Every structure is written in structure tokens, then in C-alpha cells.
Amino acid sequence: MDISVVVPLYNEDESLTELEAWVRKVMDENNFSYEIMMVDDGSTDNSWKVVQGLSEINSNVKGIKFRRNYGKSAALHTGFQEVQGDVVITMDADLQDSPDEIPELFRMIKDEKFDLVSGWKKERHDPLSKTIPTKLYNGVTGIMTGIKLHDMNCGLKAYRKEVVKTIEVYGEMHRYIPVIAKWAGFKNIGEKVVVHQARKFGVTKFGGLERFIRGPLDLLSIVFVGKFGKRPMHFFGSLGAIMFTLGFGLFFCLGARKVWNLIYEIPAKNIADISWFYIGLTAMILGTLLFCTGFLAELVSRNSPVRNAYLIETKLGMEENETVVS
């Protein structure tokens, strides 16, 4: 199969019929073999009935329905587990992503050998309350991860099949799929300017004001796990060593100064009456706590069932190639 289109949806019954017809038209015009995987994230409207009806009309339409709303990351991850296409396209169900972009995205994956191609909505039909935070978010993410994309969270993306079968998308991590892919070893990440349609029906379902809180926290989490997931002591131990050394250095200086004053009978305050004493003491305590945290994290990591799971791109002299997920 050439292409799998994964569509996470939540209360989008008004747009699904038009979306399916548009995707089908593009696929037929380009003679692609395809499937459309619609993942209903616990919709409370008639979305699932629409999906069922479309599946009866078009056998290429497949559906998954959650019992309740879990979020976009869960919908994408579940869809990724089921797809069969060599190239996987993700797009939102609200008709703001254009299926006309699919042929070029497919070509970039197949001919230019990209692992992942992310859409860039250069001209957006969104209010400033979304566009300004998005620019800030993309800039900070690029600095922290080294991935220079103009629109990290664009719903329209293309992937090699191996990518979606390897990465794990959970929580609210759909915003950082390119980062997850990079940490998994898929570093050939490209970008394509795509058309952004004005929303035709309803209002946005995925995201809200909470994304301004969850987004930065998820970014810190994924950067930390990507760099130190298998060696947490390197992070906590380094911080602990720095803090303890600073605290011990202050104690040493205060002690040396006290001894000097005693030798030469110079009046001086008690060490406990000096504010630097408490700063040094706090630094040493924090350093010790960070060391303990590092040791505990190492114990958890070493007892993890995936502690020695690493990504293997290919094998020689064996019956089949395998990919191990870490």
C-alpha cells in the first residue's frame, strides 16, 4: 500500500464527508493505493456514524473509536499502530489541511528520502492569540532541540512507515513528534510550505488555553528524557556535584577565615552568624539531595524492562530485519 492517511477527530461530523471525498479524489487522480484511518477520540456528536457510513461507501475508510476522549496524542499513536502504508500522512479533520498536498509530501518521502516532512502554514487563518504563541513556541523549541522548523505542531505531516512504527506518542507529545523522531534516530527531517484553509465548520477541538501550560512542560520533559533517559545520574549527579562543591567551598573559606582571625587574634563574628554559612549549608544539602535523586533514578532505569532496548536500523546474516523500540 502506498499511503495511509491518519485523521484524529473529535466532534467533526460536519466535515468528515467532504474530507473523505477530497482525499479520495486526490488518491484516484494519482493512482495511489491507500487507506484512510479515522480515529474518533470519544466524540459526542454523530462523527462515528458518519465514519461508519463512509466505510460502507469506500472500503478504504477504516475507523477506530475510543470509549472516551483521550486526546490527540492517543489518537495518533493508536492510528500509527494500525496503518499499513509505506508513507503515513497525518491531517486534522477540520478541512484546514489540504489533501492536495499529499502527492508532493509522498514524493519528498519516497524520492528525497526524508524520514519526516512537516507542513509549514506560512499564511495562517488563525487569530493572533494562536499565531503569536506559536511563533514563540517554535523558536524556543528550535533552540532547545536543534530542530529548525517554522511550524512544529502542524497537523499535516508525512512519515516513512518505519518512523511511526518506532516512535511512541503519549500524553500531549503530538506537538513534539519531530523531536521524538530525532531522538529515535530519524534525523532526516524536512519541511514544506502548505496551504492553510480557513476553518469551515465549528471551532477547534484539540487544544485550548491549557496548551500554554502543558506545552512548555512537555518540551522540558521530552528534552530531558531524550538526553538523560538512560543515564539520569549524569544529569542529577552533575548538578549535585556542582551544588555540593559550591557549598563546601563556602564552608572552607569561612573556616579558613575563622582560623586566620583566631591565629592573629582579630575580632570576628561566629560562623553561624554569617549569612554565607546558611547559603553554603543549603547548597550542600541540595547537592546531597540531587545525588540521592540520581541514584534513585538509576535504580529505576536499571530495573526498567527497556533498559537495554536500542534502535537497530538493520541486521546482516539473519533471517529478518528488526527494529527495537526504546
Note the pLDDT of residue 326: 41
Task: Round to whole Å and give the CA distance between 313 and 162.
Answer: 10
CATH number of 3-227: 3.90.550.10
All three cell numbers of 101, joined, read: 498536498
Q: What are phi and psi of 91, to 5 degrees?
A: -155, 155
What are the residue ranges spanned by the domains of the chain?
A: 3-227, 232-302
Question: Is it the case that residue 204 has pLDDT exceeding 80?
Answer: no
- Name the residue with higher pLDDT: 143 or 37: 37
- 181-184 long-range Cβ contacts below 8 angstroms, 24+ apart: 181/115, 181/116, 182/145, 182/146, 182/147, 182/226, 183/222, 183/225, 183/226, 184/311, 184/326
Per DSSP, helices labelled H in 67-127 are: 72-82, 102-110
Over 70: is that where the pLDDT of 268 sits? yes
**How far lies 196's CA from each of 41, 93, 122, 124, 292, in Å?**
23, 13, 8, 6, 50
pTM of the predicted protein model? 0.73
For the ranges 201-210, 224-233, 284-293, the one whose mean pLDDT is highest: 284-293
pLDDT for 63: 95
Neighbours of 168 (CB within 10 A): 12
For the segment 16-21, the average pLDDT, to the nearest whole number, is 96
Identify the pLDDT of residue 264.
85
pLDDT in tens, 110-166: 999 999 999 998 887 666 666 676 777 778 888 888 888 988 889 999 999 999 999
Residues 226-243 have a mean pLDDT of 84
The answer on pLDDT for 285 being more than 80 is: yes
Q: How sure is the predictor about 211, in pLDDT bands with cuts at 50, 70 and 90?
A: low
